[in-house]
Amino acid sequence: MRVLVTGGAGYIGSHAALRLLEDGHSVSVVDSLERGHARTIEILKDVAGDRLEFLRADLADTDALTDLLTRNEHDLAMHFAALTYVGESVERPLDYFRTNTAGGISLLTAMKCAGVRRLIFSSTCATYGEPSPEFVPIGEETPQNPINPYGRSKLQFEEVLRAEVANPKDPTPLAVVALRYFNVAGCDAGGRIGEDHRPESHLIPICLEVALGKREHLTIFGEDYPTADGTCIRDYVHVEDLISAHLAAVDALEPGRFKRWNVGIGRGYSVREVLESCRRVTGHAIPAVRGMRRPGDPPRLYADPSAIARDLGWSANWTDLDAIVATAWRWMQANPRGYG
Ligand code: UDP
């Protein structure tokens, strides 16, 4: 098949593009390179030769997207391109709604013009906001009450998709799967591509940057949460498992249906447990200091992945946190300056 991968030069999108290419598919990557890395495109080209097409464009450029989609017949789109920092979204809400909501609408418009009617959308557990304890672990029926512009911008695009799949006048109804990710971690087990966010705000890469000598310490954002060790609990799913969930979702696409699944391993790790794991994997002391709570951080977020297991036969292969961290550490050691 030929797949449009938006955000294919970014962390998760590049892992999706790599897997699709390795599986023999053709891939069109569209990425503005605002946050993505040109180097990943070179690496993907080495894998794929002429099965990869790259378009540097913003999601807002509907004409460019339409042109790309009509030049070759595309079977579906996987939509990863987004702004994804909770804290930044509070300070730049317009950018978040413009990229994540309006950008999605632009993509949908281009897909409609080009007759591409299948979409897998990167949604997020941030659409659930701060679920009350009876909803943790978090299933798909948990009320969606996002508490920051990031989560709201993603939920709004889910709403757009729901409306569009239900369009009674559409002769070729849209088919959508929204995958609501929990925390994504680790890198390509082959060590070719990795995680390079600028600025980096994620827990595991920050711990590893301390081990690498790029930072002096980790600041733990709050040790007074109502959890066993006082730090926040998250569900860390390996990026390769996440991509496998996308491939499983392709077969579930059905015209006129909006389907959604949570993607997590179903077990939470506290910030302190992640820190200990990074210490074990790197053999480095990784000093940590106590910091203030980060606004918008719910104490416990982990998935109930039983629906995706039941419906798609998907479950995480990477369930050992040390093994997940080791893939990230391997890439970071080989690429201490990231993509340069
Ligand atoms: N965290 C932390 N120090 C950091 C970065 C993150 O204590 O320097 C905590 C953060 O408060 C959260 C967890 O680590 O509880 C995971 O944060 P991350 O930013 O990796 O992902 P998020 O859960 O925000 O998507």
Instruction: Write out the DSSP string of 252-280.
Output: T--TT-EEEEEES-S--EEHHHHHHHHHH
Smallest CA-to-CA distance from 308 within 316, 298, 300 is with: 316
Q: How far is the CA of 40 from the centre of ligand 1 (A)?
A: 25
Q: Residue 300: CB within 6 Å of ligand 1?
A: no
pLDDT of residue 298: 87
Q: How far is the CA of 221 from the centre of ligand 1 (A)?
A: 7
In DSSP notation, 293-320 reads PPTT--SEE-B-THHHHHHH----S---
Q: Residue 227: CB within 6 Å of ligand 1?
A: no
Q: Residue 206: CB within 6 Å of ligand 1?
A: yes
Q: Residue 183: CB within 6 Å of ligand 1?
A: yes
Q: Are 242 and 263 in contact (CB under 8 A)?
A: yes
Q: Residue 220: CB within 6 Å of ligand 1?
A: yes
CATH topology of domain 2-185+238-263: Rossmann fold (3.40.50)
- Name the residue with the closest Cα to ligand 1, atom 3: 220
pLDDT of residue 87: 85
- Identify the active-site residue in 96, 150, 225, 302: 150
Is 181 an annotated catalytic residue? Answer: no
* Average pLDDT per consecutive 10 residues, the chain (340 residues; last block may be shorter): 98 98 97 96 93 98 98 97 92 97 98 98 96 94 95 98 96 98 96 93 97 98 97 98 98 98 98 98 98 89 97 97 98 94
- Name the residue with the closest Cα to ligand 1, atom 21: 202
Q: Residue 290: CB within 6 Å of ligand 1?
A: no
Q: Are 2 and 26 in contact (CB under 8 A)?
A: yes
Where are the domain boundaries for CATH 3.40.50.720 in the chain?
Answer: 2-185+238-263
* Phi, psi values for residue 259, rounded to 5°: -120, 150
- 203-234+267-334 — its CATH code? 3.90.25.10
Which atom, in ligand 1's list, is nearest to the CA of 233? 15
Q: Are 15 and 53 in contact (CB under 8 A)?
A: no
pLDDT of residue 296: 77
Q: How far is the CA of 225 from the centre of ligand 1 (A)?
A: 13
End-to-end CA distance of the chain: 32
pLDDT of residue 216: 98
Cα separation, 334 vs 190, whole angstroms? 12
Q: Positive or negative, the Cα torsion across 237, 243, 244, 249? A: positive
Q: How far is the CA of 144 from the centre of ligand 1 (A)?
A: 21
Q: How far is the CA of 291 from the centre of ligand 1 (A)?
A: 12
pTM exceeds 0.95 for this model: yes
Where are the domain boundaries for CATH 3.90.25.10 in the chain?
Answer: 203-234+267-334
Q: Positive or negative, the Cα torsion across 154, 155, 157, 162? A: positive
